Amino acid sequence: MSVREFRVAVTVEEFDRTVAFYRDGLGLDVAEAWTDNGRGLMFLAGRASLEIFDPDYAAGVDQLEVGERVSGRIRFAFQVNDVHAAVERALAHGATLVHEPKLTPWNDLNARIQSPEGQQITLYQVASES
């Protein structure tokens, strides 16, 4: 068996607000929309990967990016070209700043925001693109 695509499905109470945040605030492209038996929408978000952390490693990432344990069981991470611009755009569309961009030990620039529906999100700019 070979996995060909990875999708994450998120159920939200405020569909329109959430769609606007991910589309306008983070700049994700809409791939498909469904209206049969409710509403659904799929965004394209570049290459996907799945990270699995034990509680200690997750706490270490939170400590590094924010200074304390704040994220839940699931945290999204999006690589962006300009982390400062991405944070400002997300904030203008309803995100809450959890922590300003911070240089990591591997020289990436990571920022933490929270989406309007409460999802913890890391926005990061890789060192080779800064």
Domain boundaries, the chain: 15-129
At 4 the pLDDT is 85
Tell me the mean pLDDT in the region 24-52. 94
At 129 the pLDDT is 58
At 117 the pLDDT is 94
pTM of the model: 0.90
- The answer, yes or no, to whether residue 9 has pLDDT greater than 80, is yes
Which residues does residue 30 pair with via DSSP β-bridges, in sequence order?
43
Tell me the mean pLDDT in the region 3-19. 92
**Confidence tier at 68 by pLDDT (50, 70, 90):** very high
Tell me the mean pLDDT in the region 50-61. 93
- The answer, yes or no, to whether residue 1 has pLDDT greater than 90, is no
Both tokens assigned to 61: 């990432």
CATH architecture of 15-129: Roll (3.10)
- The answer, yes or no, to whether residue 130 has pLDDT greater than 60, is no
